[in-house]
């Protein structure tokens, strides 16, 4: 599956709950530059999907069957920017340690999600360069520091 030229970003959604994936998918619809490459229901699928689709943004749940979100990161490394999406706030410090781009708490709000996506795109532009060269620099948010507060 080759990305449409107007969708330079490929995202992966990893969550064991169908409804939780749905929220993210729906929020991503308003980000036309991002294509959802795959959805995964557990950590093992996620590791495979990363190898297969080479996404440049991952939305990752922490508590999942087989492998947790942190296990996944251990396997795929920190090359791809990761945004954690979880109901648990106690993993935030650990997420920071593994260089997560952002940490979204369920239930997720639209504005907070969009801020996270902007951070993700900025990190992605720094780390792995999207396929087309035009948008990333413009996509850099000017309030990137506030997203972690």
Partner 1 sequence: MHPLLTRNRLRLYLLAWVPLIAVSIYVLATRGTLGWLQATALAIAVFLFYALLCLSAWYPCRATPLGKVSFIRFLLTHLTAAAIMSLIWTQAGAALSYAVLSPEKFAAITRQFEPQHNSIFTVGALLYLLSVALHYVLIAMEASREAEARMMETSIMARDAELKALKAQINPHFLFNSLNSISALTSIDPSRARDMCVLLGDFLRLTLGLGEKTSVRLSEELDLLQKYMAIEMVRFGARLQVHEEIQEESRACLLPPLLLQPLVENAVKHGIASLPEGGDVRLSAHRETGRLSILVENSWNPEAPPRRSGGRGLKNVQLRLEARYGKDASFRVNTEGEFFQVSLNLPAESEENA
Tokens of 85: 């999406």
* Shortest reach from residue 25's CB to partner 1, in Å: 9
Q: Residue 143 Cβ, how far from partner 1 at the closest point, in Å?
A: 25
Pick 46 or 58: Cβ nearer partner 1: 46
For 135, phi and psi rounded to 5 degrees? -80, -25
Nearest to 16 by CA among 53, 49, 70, 65: 65
Whether 62 contacts 88, CB under 8 Å: yes
Residue 42 vs 132, nearer CB to partner 1: 42
| Residues in contact with partner 1 by the rule CB under 8 A | 16-20, 22-23, 26, 41-42, 44, 63, 65-66, 87-88, 105-108
């Amino acid at each position: 599956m080759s990305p449409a030229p107007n969708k330079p970003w490929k995202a992966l959604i990893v969550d064991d709950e169908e409804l939780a994936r749905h929220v993210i998918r729906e929020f991503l619809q308003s980000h036309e530059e991002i294509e959802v490459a795959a959805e995964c229901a557990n950590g093992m699928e996620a590791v495979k999907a990363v190898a297969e689709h080479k996404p440049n943004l991952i939305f990752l749940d922490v508590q999942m069957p087989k492998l947790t979100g942190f296990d996944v990161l251990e396997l795929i490394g920190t090359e791809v920017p990761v945004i954690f999406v979880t109901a648990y706030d106690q993993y935030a410090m650990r997420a920071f340690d593994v260089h997560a781009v952002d940490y979204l708490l369920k239930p997720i709000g639209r504005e907070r999600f969009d801020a996270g996506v902007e951070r993700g795109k900025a990190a992605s532009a720094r780390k792995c360069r999207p396929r087309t060269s035009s948008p990333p620099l413009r996509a850099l948010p000017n309030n990137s520091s506030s997203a972690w507060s």
